[in-house]
Chains A and B, each alone.
Chain A
Amino acid sequence: MNLFEVRKELDSLRISAEELTKYYLDRIEKYNKKINAYITVCDKTALSDAKKAQKLINEGKSGMFTGIPFSVKDNICTKGIKTTCASKMLEDFIPFYDATVVEKLKKDTAIILGKTNMDEFAMGSSTETSYYGTVKNPYDLTRVSGGSSGGAAASVSAKMCLGALGSDTGGSIPQPASYCGVVGLKPTYGTVSRWGLIAFASSFDQIGICANSAIDSAYILNGICGVDDKDETTSNKADKDYSSKIGMDIKGLKIGIPKEFFTDRIDKSVRENVMGAIKFFESSGCEIIECSVPSLEYAISAYYLISSAEASSNLSRYDGIRFGHRSDMGDDFNSLIINSRTEGFGNEVKRRIMLGNYALSSKYYDEYYNKALKICGQIKKEYAKIFELCDIIITPTAPSVAKKTDQKTDIVSSYLGDICTVPVNIAGLGAISVTCGYGEGNMPVGMTLVCKPYDESTIIAVCDFFENNFTKKEATAYEI
Chain B
Amino acid sequence: MFNSDLIKYLTALSKISFTENEEENITKQMHDIIALMDKVKAFNDDVCVSSHESIKYENLREDTINNDYNTKEAISNAKCIEDNYVVVPKII
Contacts and interface: CB of A to CB of B under 8 A. Distances in A.
Interface of A: 92-94, 96-97, 203, 229, 232, 295, 297-298, 300-302, 304-305, 312, 316, 319-324, 326, 330-339, 341-342, 345, 350-351, 353-355, 357-359, 361, 367-368, 370-378, 380, 410-412, 415-416, 426
A331 B89 contact: yes
Contacts of A97: 68-69
Interface string B7-31: 1011101111110000000100110
Nearest to A299: B39
Given A358-B10, A412-B33, A338 B89 contact: no
A77 to B, nearest CB: 12
Given A232-B59, A377-B50, A355 B37 contact: yes
Nearest to B92: A333
Interface residues of B, number: 53
Contacts of B35: 412
Name, among B41, B86, B88, the residue most crowded by chain A CB atoms within 10 Å (CB to CB): B88
Nearest to A426: B51
Contact of B51 (A232, A305, A373): A373
Q: Chain A at the B interface: mostly helix, strand, loop or mixed? A: helix
Contacts, number: 154
Contacts of B41: 367, 371
Contact of A354 (B26, B48, B74): B26
B62 to A, nearest CB: 10
Contacts of A300: 36, 39
A322 B77 contact: yes
A380 B51 contact: yes
Nearest to A379: B51
Contacts of A229: 61
Contacts of B45: 371, 374-375
A354 B51 contact: no
A283 to B, nearest CB: 38
B14 A302 contact: no
Nearest to B75: A322
A357 B13 contact: yes
A96 B73 contact: yes
A370 B50 contact: yes
Closest 4 CB pairs of A and B: A323-B77, A376-B51, A377-B51, A374-B48
Contacts of A297: 39
B56 to A, nearest CB: 10
B37 A305 contact: yes
B90 A301 contact: no
Contacts of B78: 321-323
A342 B80 CA distance: 19
A321 B48 contact: no
15 contacts: A298-B39, A321-B78, A322-B78, A332-B90, A336-B88, A342-B16, A345-B16, A350-B16, A354-B30, A355-B30, A359-B37, A374-B51, A377-B49, A377-B54, A412-B35
A150 to B, nearest CB: 23
A232 B60 contact: yes
Nearest to B70: A96
A390 B41 CA distance: 31
A96 B74 contact: yes
A359 B38 CA distance: 11
B89 A361 contact: no
B37 A321 contact: no
B43 A371 contact: yes
B61 to A, nearest CB: 5
A96 B49 contact: no
A359 B54 CA distance: 21
B32 A410 contact: yes
Nearest to A319: B15
A375 B43 contact: yes
A203 B54 CA distance: 12
With most chain A CB atoms within 10 A of its CB, the pick from B11, B68, B90 is B11
A333 B90 contact: yes
Contacts of A351: 26, 29-30, 33
B91 interface: yes
Nearest to A323: B77
B40 interface: yes
A339 B89 CA distance: 13
Given A330-B89, A336-B88, A375-B43, A96 B76 contact: yes
B47 to A, nearest CB: 9
Contact of B52 (A301, A316, A367, A373): A373
Contacts of A354: 7, 10-11, 14, 16, 26, 30
Contacts of B37: 301, 304-305, 355, 359, 368
Contacts of A341: 14-16
A321 B76 contact: no
Given A377-B50, A380-B51, A94 B16 contact: no
B53 interface: yes
B89 to A, nearest CB: 5
Given A305-B37, A337-B15, A357-B13, A374 B49 contact: yes
Contacts of B14: 312, 341, 350, 353-354, 357
Given A298-B43, A336-B89, A412-B36, A326 B80 contact: yes
